[in-house]
């Protein structure tokens, strides 16, 4: 047994365990341990676990694990929280660049918000009449009314492996268009449940809302159960570029645990 230090973070209710692993104190291959630490009854409790690791040419590498214990695809809110951790711990200045499973990302801090540069989206399309957009993680966007009243767990589980989706399925986003924003609820794969917010999910939902003609602005405000976010982007012939996800990233507490 050994004791490690961890930090608990949340970004609009999407919560993470962050561990500074630049000295290899944590075994990233131990999926059972990752799952146990993320367990809300038997561990610390989180939607996912993030390792901050050394990476040549970058301020750090972000390695993200879903609460099922296995390495996941890109996590937008996790990226914003990882950037805040790096700023707070002095790993980087107020602007940084890190690498993740989908490539490099720039991030900056202003007031109480973290802005994360997302990777360009080259392909968007319709599957079974709903938008499918990969923003570092695959997202299936369902426009609906009364999203607040939906059984997101049941509907998300039903749609997560829908016919014609890629191998591995997708995250499911239920989107309600309001006068000046969209309201988004997300069922996340790997967590296999609704999360209070999903950064790559609101990014995909914002892009879909403009492509579908609901807004004529390339800056979309998003409301989630965990808080508010903004997504800005540019639509070009070659795809969606200059995508920026902005919102709060909050340090919750620091602790130690035996593993």
Strands 193-195 and 182-188: antiparallel
Whole-number Å distance between alpha carbons of 189 and 72: 9
In what helix (H) or strand (E) does residue 78 lie, and over which residues does it extend?
A: helix 76-89
Known catalytic membership, residue 198: yes
- Residue 244 β-bridge partners: 117, 232
Known catalytic membership, residue 81: no
Strands 239-248 and 227-236: antiparallel
From 34, 49, 62, 75, active-site residue: 75
Residues 6+ apart with CB under 8 A from 111: none
From 142, 198, 206, 240, active-site residue: 198
- Residue 234 β-bridge partners: 241
Whole-number Å distance between alpha carbons of 80 and 259: 26
In what helix (H) or strand (E) does residue 224 lie, and over which residues does it extend?
A: strand 219-224
Please give the structure tokens belonging to residue 118: 């997302």
> Which residues are part of the catalytic machinery?
75, 198
């Amino acid at each position: 047994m050994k004791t490690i230090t961890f930090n608990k973070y949340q970004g609009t209710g999407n919560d993470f365990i962050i561990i500074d692993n630049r000295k290899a104190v944590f075994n990233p291959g131990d999926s059972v341990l990752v799952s146990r630490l993320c367990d809300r009854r038997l561990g610390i409790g989180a939607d996912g676990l993030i390792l901050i690791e050394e990476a040549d040419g970058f301020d750090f590498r972000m390695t993200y694990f879903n609460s099922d214990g296995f390495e996941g695809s890109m996590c937008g809110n996790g990226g914003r929280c990882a950037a805040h951790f790096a700023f707070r711990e002095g790993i980087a200045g107020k602007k940084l660049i890190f690498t993740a499973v989908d490539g490099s990302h720039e991030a900056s801090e202003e007031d109480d918000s973290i802005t994360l540069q997302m990777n360009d989206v080259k392909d968007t399309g319709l599957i079974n009449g709903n938008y499918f957009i990969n923003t570092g993680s695959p997202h299936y966007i369902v426009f609906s009314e009364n999203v607040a009243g939906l059984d997101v767990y049941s509907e998300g589980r039903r749609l997560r492996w829908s016919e014609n989706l890629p191998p591995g399925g997708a995250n499911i986003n239920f989107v309600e268009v309001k006068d000046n924003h969209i309201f988004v609820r997300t069922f996340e794969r790997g967590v296999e449940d609704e999360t209070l917010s999903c950064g790559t999910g609101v990014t995909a939902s914002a892009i879909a809302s403009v492509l579908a003609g609901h807004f004529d602005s390339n800056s979309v405000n998003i409301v989630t159960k965990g808080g508010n976010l903004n997504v800005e982007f540019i639509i070009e012939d070659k795809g969606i570029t200059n995508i920026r996800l902005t919102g709060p990233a909050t340090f919750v507490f620091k602790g130690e645990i035996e593993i």
